[in-house]
Structure 1
Amino acid sequence: MREGYDFSLYKADAIAGLTVAIVALPLSMALAIASGASPDKGLVTAIIAGFLISFFGGSRVQVGGPTGAFVVVVFNVIAQHGYDGLLIATLMAGLILIAAGVFRIGRLIKFIPHPVVTGFTAGIAVIIASSQVKDFLGLSLENVPSEFVPKWQAYAGAIASVHIATVLVGLGALAVIVALRRFAPKLPGFLIALILTAAVVAFLGLPVDTIGTRFPDMASTIPMPSLPAISWARMVELLPSAFTIAFLAGIEALLSAVVADGMTGSRHRSNQELIGQGIANLGSVAFGGLPATGAIARTATNIKAGAKTPVAGMMHALFILIFVLFASDLMAYVPMAALAAILFVVAWGMCEIDRFIALLRMPNSDRAVLLLTFGLTILVDLTVAIGVGVTLASLLFMARMSETVLLDNGNAADDDDEFHRDELDQRDDLPKGVEVFRISGPVFFGVAGELLDAMRKIGRTPKVIILRMRLVPMLDASGVTMIEEFIEQARVSGAKIILSGVQHQPKEMLVRVGLSGDHAGVFFETDYVAALNLARQLSTITLH
């Protein structure tokens, strides 16, 4: 409001809000069903929490609602404690998030190592995809086990009951989504797939499961606000689930906000974002909704559609509300197999297969953290996976640091002398359009975001950036990811990167992810003098 708001901004935000609403509509229903709830719960969450996240959050373009990260936790809480138990856990999670924002704990989220985040996200994706096999194949199963291995044993036992019409509907929806993503990515593939498959099922009278047959008593209006019956015993019983929900909401919201910052060049306020997430979850509970957080895919869609301010996220919620009020009867015709196809695509996106494979090329320690977190998420429990993953990553980091100190002990004095000798005058000879950053010390999961913050603070993108890395003895997987993100952000802005004085271990890690040689605007030089000479040449070419 301080910067002003006019009709041109509103128009851009309204178009972006409508675009995101079209994407969020089928996703909200599919994620709610995968979580063990009815589709209307997902829509209520997208409306109430989506509006509040944009209104109170710390990011200009964040879009929130139900997400895949919650599916496993929500399903288990509903199965063990009922839907009222989920509401109580979500209520406590909202209060935890608000307290975390007030006490400025948002910055601590960055201490979650990257292999842990990738491992549990990929694990959740596998669980989501596994949960949809019954609906996609039309299997005759009354009760599907919640555990991963027994679930697949049940599928194998019921394989003879595959329903051909259901499979064809699911494959048709999947083919439409994949084809549109390949040949017409701007079109809303999820919604088009639902409309086409629903029309085919209704026109041909196919005997397949639909939302109407599965949920005949589904509400078609927004309920009046109310709160579940709360007791001290229930709160104690549900506290672990509340912390898990709060943790997932916080980490996914802040990861989404960081992605948005990279796409827009803006900077979110992490603690305000946590407060906004907390308020949104309290609001969702009041209307009987699910846990909510920032959604990376919907936020990226919002940005690509031209969103300028938080009004876009609020408009997305209002457009979904309009659909619920005036077109909810049409949802009854949506085939369950089509929703399963949507969740297969969502799960594939969550896997981040390229990043997962890149982490498998990392040293054994990072690989062990990734695979252990991935396996525990699937086979044991998400909370256990995160706890074990973070603990193991911390212990391995301490072991790495002890090795680094021993290796560099003999040269420490020389490094310090040179550091102090040119610390004050490293910027004196910089040509126009060249910027220099010095990184001193190990770049690991706890400090991986500092370089991106430093680049944002200069307020402009230079033509050439020199990263002085001679004093960096170690890079871990999160540090490599940060360097990749920094390079990508610079590349999008048209800047070239020169890495000078890279030591053996950091260079080996960068080579593992393909940043070797003069690759796509990235150059390696042996020392700062050579880097400066190359920067003069590159800046002269760029300026002319």
Structure 2
Amino acid sequence: MFSIISKRPESIKNDLLSGLTVALALVPEAVAFAILAHLHPLTGLYAAFTIGLIASIVGGRPGMISGATGAIAVVVGTLVLTHGEEYLFAAVMMMGLIQIIFGILKMGKFIRLVPHPVFLGFVNGLALVILIAQFEHFKVPGPNDTHEWIAGSALYIMIILIVITMAIIQFLPRFTKAIPSTLAAIIVGTLLVIGLNLDTRTVADMASIKGVFPPFHLPEVDLSWEAFKIVFPYAIIMALVGLIESLLTLNLVDELTETTGHPNRECIGQGVANTVTGMFSGMGGCAMVGQSIINIKSGGRSRLSGISASIFLLIFILYASSLIEVIPIAVLVGVMFMVVIGTFEWGSLRLLGKIPLSDWIIIVAVTAITVASDNLALAVIVGVILSALVFAWEHAKHIDAVTHLDSMGNKVYEISGPLFFASISNFQEIFTPKDDTDDVVVDFKNSRIADHSALEAIEKLADRYDRAGKRLHIKHLSKECRLLLKKAGPLVEVNVVEDPDYHVAADNVADKVNSGLNLK
């Protein structure tokens, strides 16, 4: 995980060529995201360079590409319009510090809580977001600040170039893998436009990418409470959005490469990258799914691929802007169309009827929210909440009991299933205090007390039997249950069986636990 360059010469070549391919694809994306955030195009390019370089060196996932992203651009647009770019740079630095804290506290592991249906919805939604974004390139400025769809020969040329690009990416690997098919497609498409003198839009029509080395610049923001109240909410949202997208991208790259990344280290890497970016006039960012897939498909595996992509991008900005600006937009659109095809989980379309309906609904819901809101973090959070509610609802129905009379003639309830907030209603309905014997035993051998709601349910059950003039005993508590009861202290007061004769061990469960008595 800590080596930058692979020991195999062929891998070094693949990493360098895939890095060049990624750098070419990064240019229009970074420019478009900067414009979306109401910033100068170079602000997006600077972010793509600094974040990509530092995250590749410090981060926890070799082969993953980071840079300026649409998810961050959507969040910061309002901040830039309202308070200016200096506040943005301050927010980016604070965003990075928050992400570093997340990594130090080892909170990256919580990405494991994202269920697979949510992950599928995330991937499918992201693919559709990338697809929809490409259609903006089919528009040209019209009168009164409007945009019109291209038509006629311009449309035909663009479609032909897209088809040629996609065909090269798809079929070239069948003949040779000496050069990444995506890089070959970009070169061939560009040469066709130049050689045939075709009239089609190029990168230069978006914006000039020529610039200087990212200048060191501390944000010119007052160190005041008022400034903090402006910056901090944006920083929190940016940090969460960036980490969620980065960690889900890490999982995706893990699947593609059949290797394992380090989520906590990636949190720190993203944090360091954004903190530095804020000092070098960058707009902030995170891992990029599309570019990461291009890198992996082009043969990039080590940290060198991400590092070389950033260095190539810097070379473009400083010395080769004129060469990059001649690349046709249609060719890059074709590249992104192939990314969409490779990103979308087509197998998920066949899951209806093969998986629980609730899981399929979650996939569709996360996909729809991602597309509708263009907010990946929101979609994932909603998906996790829906999954948790479905899980709670399904397990709430699993609480049940088998009853019998023991050798002393007392009624015994053998509980099965977890007792937690969603199952307490069904738990209470199991018992019939008026019809039961004077002594009733609740056996938790096949159950678990999971939360405070479960403790309250036991307390209420004890009250019901007390009002009926009967005594309730519990036994076979797990270690986890005893720990919860011990922590509850005086909150729960029930009798716990210590031996088969049902001697009352204590009036207070916590007192009995503290006295060292053995709970069955």
TM range (shorter): 0.5 to 0.7
Corresponding letter in the other structure for 1:57: G
Structure 1 residue 194: deviation in Å? 3.9
Q: Is the CA contact 1:28–1:46 (under 8 Å) kept in the aligned structure 2?
A: yes
Q: 1:77 to 1:33 in 2, by over 3 A?
A: farther
User: How far apart are residue 56 of structure 1 and its match?
Assistant: 1.3
Where does residue 392 of structure 1 map in the other structure? 386
1:311 and 1:126, CA in 2 relative to 1: closer, same or farther beyond 3 A?
closer
Structure 2: distance between partners of 1:227 and 1:77? 18
Are residues 1:247 and 2:240 paired?
yes
Provide the alpha-carbon RMSD of the alignment: 3.9
Tell me the TM-score normalised to structure 1 length: 0.61
| Cα pair distance change 1:8/1:71, threshold 3 Å | closer
Q: 1:289 and 1:360 mapped to 2: Cα distance?
A: 47
CA distance in structure 1 between the partners assigned to 2:263 and 2:66 by the alignment: 15
Aligned residue runs from structure 1 range 94-493, under 5 A: 94-138=96-140, 140=142, 143=145, 158=148, 162-185=150-173, 186=177, 187-203=179-195, 205-216=197-208, 218-231=209-222, 232-233=225-226, 235-261=228-254, 266-296=259-289, 298-299=291-292, 309-355=302-348, 357-358=350-351, 361-380=354-373, 382=375, 384-406=378-400
User: Partner of 2:33 in structure 1?
Assistant: 35
Q: 1:56 to 1:369 in 2, by over 3 A?
A: same
Rate the CA distance shift 1:253–1:354 in 2: closer, same or farther, 3 A.
Answer: same
Cα distance per residue 1:506-525 (max 9 Å; x no partner): xxxxxxxxxxxxxxxxxxxx
**Cα 1:103–1:124, aligned 2, differ >3 Å: closer, same or farther?**
same
- Shift in CA distance, 117/142, structure 1 to aligned 2, threshold 3 Å: farther
Residue 465 of structure 2 corresponds to: none
Q: Distance in 1 between matches of 2:331 and 2:82?
A: 28
Residue 118 of structure 1 aligns with an amino acid whose one-letter code is: L
For residues 95 and 135 of structure 1, do their structure 2 counterparts lie closer, same or farther at Cα, with a shift above 3 Å needed? Answer: same
- Structure 1, unmatched stretches of 5+, are 145-154, 412-440, 443-470, 472-544
Deviation of the 1:248 alpha carbon: 3.4
Quote the offset at 1:276 in angstroms: 0.8
Distance 1:112 1:52, change over 3 A: same
Alpha-carbon distance in structure 2 between the residues aligned to 1:82 and 1:347:
34
Deviation, 1:279, is 0.6
Q: Which has the larger radius of gyration?
A: 2
Contact 1:30 1:39 in 2 (8 A): no
CA distance in 1, matches of 2:128, 2:255: 28
Whole-angstrom distance in 2 between the partners of 1:71 and 1:295 = 13
1:123 to 1:204, Cα distance in 2 relative to 1, 3 A = same
2:15 touches 2:299 (CA, 8 Å); kept in 1?
no
**Letter in structure 2 aligned against 1:178:** M
- CA displacement 1:324-357 (0-9 Å, x = unmatched): 4332211222333444443344344443333355
Identity of aligned residues (%): 29
Normalised to the residue count of structure 2, the TM-score between the two structures is 0.64
Q: Is the 8 A contact 1:284 1:290 kept in 2?
A: yes
Deviation larger for 67-76 or 288-297 = 67-76
SS in 2 for 1:215: coil
SS at match of 2:61: coil
Q: SS of the residue aligned with 1:22?
A: helix
Do 2:31 and 2:45's aligned partners in 1 also have CA atoms closer than 8 Å? no
Shift of 1:316: 3.6
| Structure 2: unaligned runs, 5 residues or longer | 404-416, 419-445, 447-520
- Structure 1 position 15, deviation (Å): 1.6
Number of paired residues? 395
Q: Which amino acid aligns with 2:318?
A: L
SS of the aligned residue for 2:397 comes to: helix
Q: Closer, same or farther in 2 for the Cα pair 1:176/1:58, shift >3 Å?
A: same
Deviations 1:248-288 (A, max 9, x none): 33233333434555566654332122101111122223332
AA aligned opposite 1:375: A
Give distance in 1, aligned partners of 2:191 and 2:185.
10
